[in-house]
Amino acid sequence: MAQSKKRQELEARKVRIMDEIELANRILAETKKDRSNTLGTIETVQQKIKLREKLIRTLDREVELMEEEEAEMQREIDTLRVRVEKQKAQYAHMIQQAYKSRKNSSRLMFILSSEDFNQAMRRIEYLKQYSAYRQQKIKEIEKQELELGEAMERLRVQKVRKNAVRGQLQEENRKLSNEKLSQEEAIKTYAAMEKDLEKKLKEKLKEAAKVEAQIEKVIAEEIAKARALAARKALEDRAIDLGLIRGKDFSSNTTNSRLEELIDAAVKARAAENKPAIAKPESFELTPAARTLAANFEANQKRLPWPVERGLVTGNFGPQRHPVVKSVIIDSKGIDITTEGNTPVKAVFGGTVTRRWRLPNGQLAVVISHGNYFTVYLGFKEASVDQDDVVKAGQQIGITYTNPINSQTMLHFQVWKDNQAVNPLLWLSSK
pLDDT at 286: 65
Distance CA 353, CA 392 (A): 11
| Contact of 147 with 81, CB cutoff 8 Å | no
* 36 touches 406 (CB < 8 A): yes
pLDDT, tens only, 174-184: 888 887 877 77
Cβ neighbours for 113, distance < 8 A, ≥ 6 positions apart: 105
| Residue 220 confidence (pLDDT) | 86
88-120 pLDDT tens trace: 777 777 676 666 555 445 666 666 666 777 777
* CATH 2.70.70.10 is held by the domain 293-426: yes
**pLDDT score of 359:** 85
pLDDT of residue 104: 45
In the three-class reduction of DSSP (H, G, I as helix; E, B as strand; rest coil), residue 226 is classed as: helix
Q: DSSP string spanning 162-184?
A: HHHHHHHHHHHHHHHHHHHHHHH
Taking 70 as the pLDDT cut, the residues of the chain under it are: 1-4, 7, 27-41, 94, 96-114, 127, 130-131, 133-134, 186, 188-197, 274-287, 323-326, 405-406, 431
Please enumerate in sequence order all residues whose Cβ is within 8 A of that of 412, keeping only pairs 6 or more positions apart, or say none. Answer: 315, 334, 335, 336, 337, 376, 377, 378, 379
Which regions of the chain carry the CATH code 2.70.70.10? 293-426
Please say whether the beta carbons of 123 and 106 come within 8 A: no
Q: Name which of 337, 29, 47, 339 is nearest 183 in CA terms.
A: 47
- Output the pLDDT for position 369: 93
